[in-house]
A and B are shown apart, each in its own frame.
Chain A
Amino acid sequence: MEKTVNLATVSPSTPLPRALKRQKERHGPQKELKKWDEFEDMLEERRHFSDLKYAMKCYTPTVYKGLCPCKPDKIKRCVLKSEEVQYIIKQISKETHESTDIIQEEASVILDEMAHKLRLGAIRFFAFSLSKVFKRIYKKVCVNEEGIQRLQRAIQEHPVVLLPSHRSYIDFLMLSYVLYTYDLPVPVIAAGMDFLGMKLVGELLRMSGAFFMRRTFGGNKLYWTVFSEYVKTMLRNGYAPVEFFLEGTRSRSAKTLTPKLGLLNIVMEPFFKREVFDTYLVPISISYDRPLEETLYAHELLGVPKPKESTTGLLKARKVLNENYGSIHVYFGEPLSLRSIANGKMSRGPYNLVPRHIPQKPSEDMHAFVSHVAYKLELLQIQNMVLNPWNLVATVFLQNLPRMDFDILVKKTVWLKDLTQTFGGFLIWPDNIAADEVIHSSLLLHSNIVNFNKDQVILKEESEEPGTAEGLVFQHITILMCVAYRNQLLNIFVRPSFVAISLQMTPGFRKEDIYSCFDFLRDVFSDEFIFFPGNALKDFEEGCYLLTKNETIQVTPQDILVTDKGDTVVSFLALLFKPFVEGYRIICQYLQKEENEGFTEKQYLTGIRNYNYCLLQSGESECYELLSSDMHKNALAALVRLGAVSKNKVNDEYTYKVNDEAIIKLEEMLGAKIPIGKPVTARL
């Protein structure tokens, strides 16, 4: 059993200056002291007992109290017969003059394409083979069993939606595997259609509960209705927990992606319409020491096209079996009762005055609420994501490229460890082992990224295997891999760091000015990091609170002052996020200089990549972050949101146009050449 030490609660031992004390008191009761459950290694038992017996065990999962047991076929029939689907069929028939039979047939085809065929046999097959694979490639698969118990209770009470973080394809296999092991019902999982490209795998996944959704519905009413009715039917009947990924896709950069609201909307609807009494939403955090897709992601981010998921592709992955991927931590968060979250937040009007089967565009209220819930869930996911020593090592190392002394690395990593724990990071660090050993072993696990040579840690510059894609600098791949590991830290660090950057960017110490800057940064980077919509002040206060806690700053009624010992922390934090500020600034620069009227996203993506490439080569910039196409996309979205770029639809294609004045201003603000506008709030 691993001990997880919670350090969010550690308080400074030296007496606090008065002003600080006040601050502390003010924040004290606000900030919940986070305690995490303990982890249990699931593989432990697998290593000692027969996998076959385990796969053939008597499996009688606890089920929803209101369950009406039925076969996958019956669900399909229910969906086709449902008033919702029938209504749309009639409507389309009226519009297109097509007979309802034909449309009904179409609906049936859609349903066949998407529906799962959950079979116990397939689950047992996976249970057996995954046991073999997992034991081979993972050291441990850790699960918080208290979370499992909470989930077990929740499943009996109300329909359950499982919302895991998404860092790897392993996520959903792993989750079903865990649930099977603990005698909980295996979920039905919303998966992308791309899997269906892989014939065999697709069908296998189908039989283990995956159902498939097209990535774009393109306004296809019939598809949308059939799909959402399918999901809702399973949810209402309590057929099985419904699982999907709020982030929509695997995050290549390991930062949590902003939530997609479509499916969340669907699973919340039965409650809104009171077809169910309540629905539990369960945030689940799955953290990998080393995701299988590690290098693949780096390639993708560099813009090398994503290989189609194909069976052969997966089989090639056989070499995977000879690798060591460290451990996995699966943390089941507290099930959230949708009813409790909605309490007082939703006016009941909309569904009372129209028959429930008639589709309605969600009101603004409703939309805001769904988004509120989505962010809340993602923040909870983040809170329970496990950080490991390597995340810290990668962070330190990235600030000291391309090589550094091992001793210094250890020293700085240990320093960062304390900081991470102060900021409430869920860090798993074996305290019974000496720090240099801990770090050493994590270097070994990631020997594909760094070499350890004569007391020096060196970034790998050459691939060990031939066949690196053309035009790529191998180093860029290793750097982006490091970046991904560091990124896992950023979610925890973003608030205090933005305060730190604001301190640097703002002339003077006035709290108001610093807050304006903070608010500005938060706004600009809200596609990069997860912030609760609205409520910038709360984020600011949290950032300040964390910094006061370790005596980095001192907050007085008017000013924010950096303490003497605080300088190091402030500069470290600022440096941590500098690549983002710098990256966005360069993008502004590029758009100003290079792009002409009406460019497309594709043009922009290639353009900025080349632009950055040149800068890197000429040594004008060291912003390796900007290699990541993730940042390119996020920045474009942010610029559109901020009005610095306008987006227009011309002949089914979006084109963009730069607003020169705004982009220049933005660039100057990011470069701290001009102060950030007027204070936003007087209430500070």
Chain B
Amino acid sequence: MAEAAASAAADGAGCGSGSSLERERERVCAGRRLRVLSGHLQGRAPAAALVLNECRGRAPAAAPAAPPPAAPESSSIPKKRQELMKWNGWGYNDSKFIINKKGQIEFTGKRYPLSGMVLPTFREWLQNVLGLNLDQRTTSKASLNASDVPPSVVKEDFLDDLKETSISYSQEADDRVFRAHGHCLHEIYLLREGIFQRIPDIVLWPKCHDDVVKIVDLACKYNLCIIPFGGGTSVSSGLSCPVDEKRTIVSLDTSQMNRILWVDEHNLTAHVEAGITGQELERQLKESGYCTGHEPDSQEFSTVGGWVSTRASGMKKNIYGNIEDLVVHIKMVTPKGVIEKSCQVPRMSTGPDIHHFILGSEGTLGVVTEATIKIRPVPEYQKYGSVAFPNFERGVACLREIAKQRCAPASIRLMDNMQFQFGLALKPQVSSIFTSFLDGLKKFYITKFKGFDPNQLSVATLLFEGDREKVLQHEKQVYDIAAKFGGLAAGEDNGQRGYLLTYVIAYLRDLGLEHYVLGESFETSAPWDRVIDLCRNVKERIAKECKEKGVQFSPLSTCRVTQTYDAGACIYFYFAFNYRGISDPLTVFEETEAAAREEILANGGSLSHHHGGSQVESILQILKDHINVSYFFIVPMAVYKFYLAVI
């Protein structure tokens, strides 16, 4: 995300610390040497390849000639996450929306193209659309009060055993609270306004696969409950602790398992530890000219293990595929041992694919420790684009046609009118790439000449990737199709801005929460023929529910078609409302969200395309009920995360 923005804006504002760059380079060189070495050894002595997998710093003395990668002990995500990231909101501590002295909204920090910029029209827009009044602030906790936090209940003998493994751990309140949640609205709201009833009792930082094996053994021995924690970006309550869990809850933080263990240029795969974040992975691969191309909007923080566990989807899936297309091999530690395939091959036909049980299992079956992921050479050329349609319906028809012709660009997203207006409202004061869409001649052209109604118009943003020639050709093809649906090319800048805003929007929720606005996003996938009806009905349902529940200002409910497939599309909704005058906003929010989901189902959509969900339990239950489960690995794992307790 920031990455994409940065590279496109060619200003390279990365987020790794400068001093680590040097070391990184060293590490990469070392890695390359190793790769060569293990290449020689592969096949004949597989054990040699494993050397790489040894924990850093604890590698046996009899290591091969080449030293293990000199990865810094403190990786991009520190153990004390709260030093880098907000304890009660989204993203980096240094980046947030504030109200400056002039009463204007400004985005702080240096990480994003929008950072340090003033958004002069945004305040008024929020006022008009949500009735948000910046002078009225909620009074939520400024910092965590350790005495409010449920105590850590951990057996001494377990701690003794743990200490022997020299795996680092923490029982401190702030560390535990940080890992008690993902980024669902209700979780963040609770952080700000109250406290969780149940949080992990202890946080553990394994450094490698073997550490995880040890932890799982201990968990079996002491009957503990483990919740794997990757980037903590879960939006499906996958990290929240069940209130009535009596066992000690261990949060297994994978952030220190963040190495690329090897890169296989021949087969175009990389073997990585599960705790590496998307951003880190791409940055390191880029140095050797590769990428995975997997870019979920949360990629700054989310991890390979998290992706696997939630069936994540990246923005550029049209070229690179979703996580299920990307993983070639998964290694997972379960209470009964380690599960992995015996080879790293593109496809197998030896019974059900075990990956299909692991993908999307939300940490209920075991801890993913390593994975082999497909990589691609970094594309030579990238180009943004945008198309304006007279209305959303025409836009959807166009996307459908593009999907039919299988010529979707790396990314194509169609925003409804509200989201388009939203984008306009976020226009910063000074910026060349942020010139307004409807400025000057173009506005005249589109509204007067072409007869577009600015309150109907819908915009698709595009991202093309590949070699230059093909991109240009591809671009023409897409614009030609768009023209058949009344679409007008609306410039690169508008396209690029669309993508940038996606990331910034995640920071907006905190601003809302400070001013009596609750907001959340949710998504679904639906067959093509239902997309329009579904979008309209869900938005209308949200408005209706809010009205019935006494919400005084009509809510913001807006959507975009964010992915296209042969048989359907993925739709992404934003929903926010002003809760002034409402005594129990969270309930109103939850009921409305539930109603929206019900509406989605009634319209033939799915509960989730990529956010993952709490359906895992019922799916496992179905397996249990319908299949002779005694053959299944999922049966006997009584210690795993809460769901397994029932199986």
Which of B27-35, B311-319, B536-544 participates in binding chain A?
Answer: B536-544
Beta-carbon contact of B601 and A277 below 8 Å: no
State whether the Cβ of A356 lies closer than 8 Å to any Cβ in chain B.
Answer: yes
Which of B134-142, B527-535, B581-589 participates in binding chain A?
Answer: B527-535
Beta-carbon contact of A274 and B529 below 8 Å: no
A277 CA to B532 CA in the complex, in Å?
12
Q: Which of A274, A348, A355, A356 contacts B537 (CB 8 A)?
A: A274
CB distance from A49 to the nearest CB of B (A): 39
CB distance from B537 to the nearest CB of A (A): 5
State whether the Cβ of A352 lies closer than 8 Å to any Cβ in chain B.
Answer: yes
State whether the Cβ of B36 lies closer than 8 Å to any Cβ in chain A.
Answer: no
Beta-carbon contact of A274 and B541 below 8 Å: no
State whether the Cβ of A275 lies closer than 8 Å to any Cβ in chain B.
Answer: yes
CB distance from A203 to the nearest CB of B (A): 35
CB distance from A201 to the nearest CB of B (A): 39
Beta-carbon contact of B537 and A351 below 8 Å: no
Beta-carbon contact of B540 and A277 below 8 Å: yes
Beta-carbon contact of A348 and B541 below 8 Å: no
Q: Which of A273, A277, A351 contacts B541 (CB 8 A)?
A: A277
Beta-carbon contact of A274 and B540 below 8 Å: no
CB distance from B299 to the nearest CB of A (A): 33
State whether the Cβ of B466 lies closer than 8 Å to any Cβ in chain A.
Answer: no
A352 CA to B534 CA in the complex, in Å?
12
Beta-carbon contact of A274 and B534 below 8 Å: yes
A274 CA to B603 CA in the complex, in Å?
6
CB distance from B548 to the nearest CB of A (A): 11
Q: Which of B533, B537, B541, B604 contacts A352 (CB 8 A)?
A: B604
Chain B neighbourhood of A352, CB < 8 A: 601, 604
State how many residues of chain A have any CB contact under 8 Å with chain B: 9
Assign chain B's interface to a size class.
Answer: 10 to 19
State whether the Cβ of B602 lies closer than 8 Å to any Cβ in chain A.
Answer: yes
Interface string of A356-375 (1 = CB under 8 A from B): 10000000000000000000
Beta-carbon contact of B604 and A351 below 8 Å: yes
Chain A neighbourhood of B529, CB < 8 A: 355-356
Chain B neighbourhood of A356, CB < 8 A: 529-530
Chain A neighbourhood of B533, CB < 8 A: 273-275
Q: Which of B527, B540, B601 contacts A348 (CB 8 A)?
A: B601
Chain A neighbourhood of B537, CB < 8 A: 274, 277
Chain B neighbourhood of A274, CB < 8 A: 530, 533-534, 537, 602-604
A273 CA to B530 CA in the complex, in Å?
9
CB distance from B622 to the nearest CB of A (A): 17
A351 CA to B605 CA in the complex, in Å?
12
Beta-carbon contact of B536 and A348 below 8 Å: no
A348 CA to B601 CA in the complex, in Å?
8
Chain B neighbourhood of A273, CB < 8 A: 533
CB distance from A270 to the nearest CB of B (A): 9
Chain A neighbourhood of B604, CB < 8 A: 274, 351-352
CB distance from B538 to the nearest CB of A (A): 10
Chain B neighbourhood of A275, CB < 8 A: 533
A386 CA to B546 CA in the complex, in Å?
38
CB distance from B423 to the nearest CB of A (A): 24
Interface string of A252-277 (1 = CB under 8 A from B): 00000000000000000000011101
Interface string of A323-364 (1 = CB under 8 A from B): 000000000000000000000000010011001100000000
Interface of B is mostly: helix
Closest residue of chain B to A158 (Cβ to Cβ) is B540
CB distance from B123 to the nearest CB of A (A): 29
A352 CA to B530 CA in the complex, in Å?
10
Closest residue of chain A to B603 (Cβ to Cβ) is A274
Closest residue of chain A to B541 (Cβ to Cβ) is A277
Chain A neighbourhood of B534, CB < 8 A: 274
Chain B neighbourhood of A351, CB < 8 A: 604
CB distance from B416 to the nearest CB of A (A): 14
Interface residues of B in 418-450 (CB under 8 A from A): none
- Give the residue among A273, A274, A351, A352 with the most B Cβ atoms within 10 A: A274
A122 CA to B30 CA in the complex, in Å?
88
Chain B neighbourhood of A355, CB < 8 A: 527, 529
- Give the residue among B536, B601, B602, B603 with the most A Cβ atoms within 10 A: B602
Beta-carbon contact of B536 and A277 below 8 Å: yes
A351 CA to B601 CA in the complex, in Å?
11
Closest residue of chain A to B536 (Cβ to Cβ) is A277
CB distance from B601 to the nearest CB of A (A): 6
CB distance from B392 to the nearest CB of A (A): 12
CB distance from A164 to the nearest CB of B (A): 28
CB distance from A58 to the nearest CB of B (A): 25
Interface string of A595-615 (1 = CB under 8 A from B): 000000000000000000000
A351 CA to B540 CA in the complex, in Å?
20
A274 CA to B534 CA in the complex, in Å?
8
Chain B neighbourhood of A348, CB < 8 A: 601-602
CB distance from B591 to the nearest CB of A (A): 14
Chain A neighbourhood of B527, CB < 8 A: 355
Interface string of B208-239 (1 = CB under 8 A from A): 00000000000000000000000000000000
A239 CA to B617 CA in the complex, in Å?
47
A235 CA to B27 CA in the complex, in Å?
67
Closest residue of chain A to B598 (Cβ to Cβ) is A348
A356 CA to B527 CA in the complex, in Å?
11
Closest residue of chain B to A348 (Cβ to Cβ) is B602
A355 CA to B541 CA in the complex, in Å?
23
Chain A neighbourhood of B536, CB < 8 A: 277
Interface residues of B in 536-581 (CB under 8 A from A): 536-537, 540-541
CB distance from A235 to the nearest CB of B (A): 14
CB distance from A366 to the nearest CB of B (A): 14
CB distance from A643 to the nearest CB of B (A): 40
A531 CA to B529 CA in the complex, in Å?
40
CB distance from A354 to the nearest CB of B (A): 10
CB distance from B345 to the nearest CB of A (A): 35
Closest residue of chain B to A357 (Cβ to Cβ) is B529
A329 CA to B602 CA in the complex, in Å?
40
A273 CA to B533 CA in the complex, in Å?
9
CB distance from A570 to the nearest CB of B (A): 46
Interface residues of B in 579-616 (CB under 8 A from A): 601-604
CB distance from B354 to the nearest CB of A (A): 29
Closest residue of chain B to A274 (Cβ to Cβ) is B603
Interface residues of B in 41-93 (CB under 8 A from A): none
Closest residue of chain A to B540 (Cβ to Cβ) is A277
Closest residue of chain A to B601 (Cβ to Cβ) is A348
CB distance from B158 to the nearest CB of A (A): 48
CB distance from B569 to the nearest CB of A (A): 16
Closest residue of chain B to A272 (Cβ to Cβ) is B602
A275 CA to B602 CA in the complex, in Å?
11
CB distance from A41 to the nearest CB of B (A): 36
A275 CA to B537 CA in the complex, in Å?
9
A274 CA to B540 CA in the complex, in Å?
12
A275 CA to B604 CA in the complex, in Å?
11
A274 CA to B602 CA in the complex, in Å?
8
Interface string of A203-228 (1 = CB under 8 A from B): 00000000000000000000000000
A422 CA to B592 CA in the complex, in Å?
43
Chain B neighbourhood of A277, CB < 8 A: 536-537, 540-541
CB distance from B203 to the nearest CB of A (A): 42
CB distance from A584 to the nearest CB of B (A): 45
Interface string of A368-405 (1 = CB under 8 A from B): 00000000000000000000000000000000000000
22 A-B pairs (CB sep. < 8 Å):
A273-B533, A274-B530, A274-B533, A274-B534, A274-B537, A274-B602, A274-B603, A274-B604, A275-B533, A277-B536, A277-B537, A277-B540, A277-B541, A348-B601, A348-B602, A351-B604, A352-B601, A352-B604, A355-B527, A355-B529, A356-B529, A356-B530
Give 10 nearest A-B pairs by CB, closest first: A352-B604, A274-B603, A277-B540, A348-B602, A277-B537, A274-B533, A275-B533, A274-B537, A274-B602, A348-B601
Chain B interface residues toward A at CB < 8 A: 527, 529-530, 533-534, 536-537, 540-541, 601-604
Chain A interface residues toward B at CB < 8 A: 273-275, 277, 348, 351-352, 355-356
| Sample of 6 further A-B pairs with CB below 8 A, known A274-B603, A355-B529 | A274-B530, A274-B537, A274-B604, A277-B537, A348-B602, A352-B604
